[in-house]
A = this chain, B = another copy of it.
Amino acid sequence: MLDEYRSSIDNIDAALIHLLAERFKVTRRVGAHKAAAGMPPADPDREAVQVQRMRELAESAGLDPVFSEKFLRFVIDEVIRHHVVAGDTGDDGN
């Protein structure tokens, strides 16, 4: 039984990794687009909408909404870290 659960966890984790890889592809494009358009890197209004949406999705999926917000923050922080490493303006890629 434990092996069966673990096999499900492993499948879910593989899907998560692939989705995250895809997400970072898109945020890299967002960063490049904003830079080319001379747009400000951060967009607090957009982020507020994202947080609210994630919380609602989490609730409907039976996931702790607080965790969904922490998760979004964790991912956005990584986007920012990548941009900083890449030497640009700390775009939040959202």
Interface residues of A in 35-76 (CB under 8 A from B): 37, 39, 46, 50, 53-54, 57-58, 61-64, 67-68, 70-72, 74
Task: Decide: B71 and A16 in contact? CB cutoff 8 A.
Answer: yes
A17: chain B residues within 8 A (beta carbon): 54, 57-58, 61, 63, 68, 71
A84 at the interface (CB under 8 A from B): no
Which chain B residue shows the least CB distance to A27?
A: B9
A70: chain B residues within 8 A (beta carbon): 78
A2: chain B residues within 8 A (beta carbon): 30, 33-34, 37, 39
**A73 CA to B78 CA, complexed, in Å:** 14
Which chain B residue shows the least CB distance to A63?
A: B21
Task: Decide: A8 and B20 in contact? CB cutoff 8 A.
Answer: no
Option from B19, B72, B74, B82 in Cβ contact (under 8 Å) with A15: B19
Task: Decide: B63 and A20 in contact? CB cutoff 8 A.
Answer: yes
